[in-house]
Amino acid sequence: MNTTLFPTAASVYDESFLTVLPPEPGGLAEKDRATFDAIVADVEATASVRDAREKYEAATDRAAKLKTAFFAMNKRGEVLTENLTVARAALEDGLIEQYAGSGAPVDGARLFTAFNVAAGEREALMRALARLAQHVTPLAEIAQLQGEADLYKLRSEELKRAAEERKVRTAELLREAAEFESGLTLDVRSTLTGFLLSYADSLLGRSVEASIAARQQETAYRRMNALEL
């Protein structure tokens, strides 16, 4: 029985993507850091991002618990295999003595019960382990990846909205300043607004990465199950 787990998210793409918090910004001017942090905090507090983060956290916790269960069940399987070997040997020895008429006391009912309990528990565990590895864990990992994709996408959208609001306000200030000084221009790319837009694009890229990984996992899952039919 093949109980090999599907590749984890980390094996599909860089594990640094698997974080519930936004990544640290690189290249941000120190004077803009406080404003940037405040904007990110506002984004994280929005209902849509908060809900997506909670869903992703739950999916991540679920996937981690399933991996723990997989190893715990494997460990229990080793114990049950040993128990079954002992119970089988005891039953066989008992049957030999019973039919050999050696006169040794043999509690056949107890031996059969011990063997059947050990065999039944091991069979149930192996079936559960196979279901965990072939169905439950892959689906949980797909949900985790899709949850991550949704979270980064919403973060990106909210950051772009904040950046657009800053652009509008900056344009208003420039129009007011133009009443006193003509020829004023502003390269948004060199401002905090430009940085926010660039950062939002990087988050969207991570969303796409996670979404692609989720589709790859789903394709692998469907292919494996199609082969089993």
Sign of CA dihedral 208, 159, 29, 16: negative
| Structure-token pair, residue 72 | 């715990």
User: What DSSP element (H or E) covers 20?
Assistant: none
pTM, two decimal places: 0.75
From residue 49, alpha-carbon distances to 19, 130, 151, 174 in Å are 14, 35, 6, 32
pLDDT in tens, 107-141: 888 999 999 999 999 999 999 999 999 999 999 99
Residue 2, sorted as left (phi over 0), alpha (psi -120 to 50) or beta, turns out to be: beta
Give Cα separations from 94 to 109, 114, 187 (angstroms): 10, 12, 90
224 pLDDT band, cuts 50/70/90, is confident
pLDDT in tens, 146-171: 999 999 999 999 999 999 888 878 76
Nearest to 204 by CA among 140, 164, 165, 148: 148
**pLDDT one-digit tens code per residue, 40-87:** 999 999 999 999 999 999 999 999 999 999 999 999 999 999 999 999
pLDDT tens figures, 183-199: 555 556 668 888 888 89
Check: CB of residue 48 under 8 Å from CB of residue 154. Answer: yes
